[in-house]
Amino acid sequence: MTTSRGAGHPALSRRLGLTDAVGIGLASMLGAGVFVVFAPAAARAGSLLLLAVVLAGALAVVNATSTARLATRYPRAGGAYVYGRERLGMPWGHLAGWAFISGKIASCAAMALTIGVHVLPGWSKAVAILVVLVVLALNLQGIERPARVARAITLAVLVVVLTFVVVLLMSPPVTVDAPPPTPPGSGDWWGVAQAAGFMFFAFAGYARVATLGEEVVEPRRAIPRAVAICLGVVLGLYVLITVALGRTLGAGWVAAREAPLAEAAEISAWPWLGPMLRIAAVLAASGALLALTLGVSRTVLAMARDRHLPPVLARLEGPHRVPRRAEIVVAGFVIVMIVLVDLRGVIGFSSFCVLVYYAIANASAWTLDDGWLGRAVAAVGFIGCLLVAALLPWESVLAGAVVLAIGAFIGWVRHTTRE
């Protein structure tokens, strides 16, 4: 079976330690929707938003367990593309890689649009495109610089968001002139499941750590630790944010906002936190964009090495040995999505694709000889991912299914022509 480092392709340099991996993972997760995803989630779950957050977090933990087991067995760039290819066969690996690339390109577009919404709402798309170009320039300089930037951004964002949460929890509920009613149809099991799908978007950044398998020092030790730290920190933070927003303003108000955290801060007892939250949103989304574009380009690299994408994308160039052509192509597709789709649309599409990606990862983990407990976790993750993906809004399901069907067809053709 072909390996991702076959055909004489050079390996990526192992430069990253545990701290770098945690910084990149937290930057991906904290920027992956925390400042915008609570609104569509509240619109579906209503007063049961906290339950949706916990369900999304539980699904993330299950997926992370399977992913960590696979990452220690296959410490190479590519994530579930490598896992599916090695454990299930080349077509499934191709589909996993296609789902990851499609979903994370949408995530990159969401992060860029989040920056635009918080900086210049009327010119959000133009700002988003400019941000993508700046991030591309940073990534082309090699992974060491983005890792340091991501770590610094993460620390600053954590301080600001925790301050916001403490202020809301210590303040009495805010009375607005005409609070929006609870969204119709929200609060039932279907709405909670849909909200969990949207909230999963805000957890999915931990996959970025697995795609660093070829660049992390001592991956068998560092990757599971980094994933556990990232999930623990982010789940606790999201629970606090949900409780603070719910007791202060209510699900109806949150559902009607475009930037719920920043707008909540602006009408809190400390309104100066509003601009601080907007700055934090820009920093968090920038950190996520730095990490996500790196992760997508590494999956493109792995698929190009196996000739599932044009081999020219597998070239490592420059003094830092980075896949410059893959990074440029990824940035180009992100810009196209920014132009064509709005913020909530890219979130739903990304959630669907990433959930399918994790379903394949769990199916791959099922084949490992790690005992019944590992298989049980993989089975729960597989079923959970497919159910939550299927219950997302029909527009997201339809668009995602079409894109993945195209990818599956290409993978099948590629597999049959190589045999």
Residue-by-residue DSSP string for 113-127: HHHHHHH-GGGHHHH
For residue 1, being part of any structural domain is answered with no
In the chain, the number of structural domains is 1
- Give the pLDDT confidence score for residue 331 in this predicted structure: 92
- Residue among 194, 161, 123, 413 at smallest CA distance from 287: 161
Give the CATH number of the domain where residue 77 resides.
Answer: 1.20.1740.10
Burial (Cβ within 10 Å: 0-12, 13-18, ≥19) of residue 118: buried
The token pair that represents 45 in the structure block: 């779950």
365 neighbors 378 (Cβ within 8 angstroms): yes
- Give the pLDDT confidence score for residue 3 in this predicted structure: 40
For residue 95, being part of any structural domain is answered with yes
- Residue among 233, 238, 161, 230 at smallest CA distance from 195: 238
- Give the pLDDT confidence score for residue 418 in this predicted structure: 61
- Residue among 121, 70, 92 at smallest CA distance from 368: 70
- Give the pLDDT confidence score for residue 5 in this predicted structure: 46
For residue 304, being part of any structural domain is answered with yes
Q: Is 144 helix (H, G, I), strand (E, B) or coil?
A: helix
Q: Is 216 helix (H, G, I), strand (E, B) or coil?
A: strand
- What is the distance between the alpha carbons of residues 239 and 107, in angstroms, rounded to a whole number? 22
56 neighbors 196 (Cβ within 8 angstroms): yes
- Residue among 362, 360, 347, 363 at smallest CA distance from 396: 347
Write phi, then psi, for 317 (nearest 5 degrees). -130, 165
322: β partners: 317
Q: What is the DSSP letter of 158?
A: H
Q: What is the DSSP letter of 391?
A: T
> How far lies 397's CA from each of 132, 279, 319, 338, in Å?
26, 33, 42, 19
Q: Is 322 helix (H, G, I), strand (E, B) or coil?
A: strand
For residue 4, being part of any structural domain is answered with no
For residue 329, being part of any structural domain is answered with yes
One-letter-per-residue 3-state SS of 125-151: HHHHHHHHHHHHHHHCCCCHHHHHHHH
For residue 2, being part of any structural domain is answered with no
First to last CA, the chain: 11
367 neighbors 397 (Cβ within 8 angstroms): no
27 neighbors 108 (Cβ within 8 angstroms): no
Write phi, then psi, for 101 (nearest 5 degrees). -60, -45
392 neighbors 399 (Cβ within 8 angstroms): no
Positive or negative, the CA dihedral 342, 348, 353, 357 is positive
- Give the pLDDT confidence score for residue 50 in this predicted structure: 94
- Give the pLDDT confidence score for residue 198 in this predicted structure: 93
The token pair that represents 374 in the structure block: 């590992």
Rounded average pLDDT per 10-residue block, the chain, 419 residues: 46 67 78 85 90 94 87 72 82 86 90 91 91 87 62 84 89 61 63 92 76 69 82 92 88 85 85 88 83 79 77 76 84 92 88 94 89 89 95 91 88 68
Query: Which domain, by its residues, includes 124?
Result: 18-171+181-418
For residue 300, being part of any structural domain is answered with yes
Q: Is 389 helix (H, G, I), strand (E, B) or coil?
A: helix
For residue 335, being part of any structural domain is answered with yes
Residues 354-369 as b or e (16 or more Cβ within 10 Å = b):
bbbbbbbbbbbbbebe
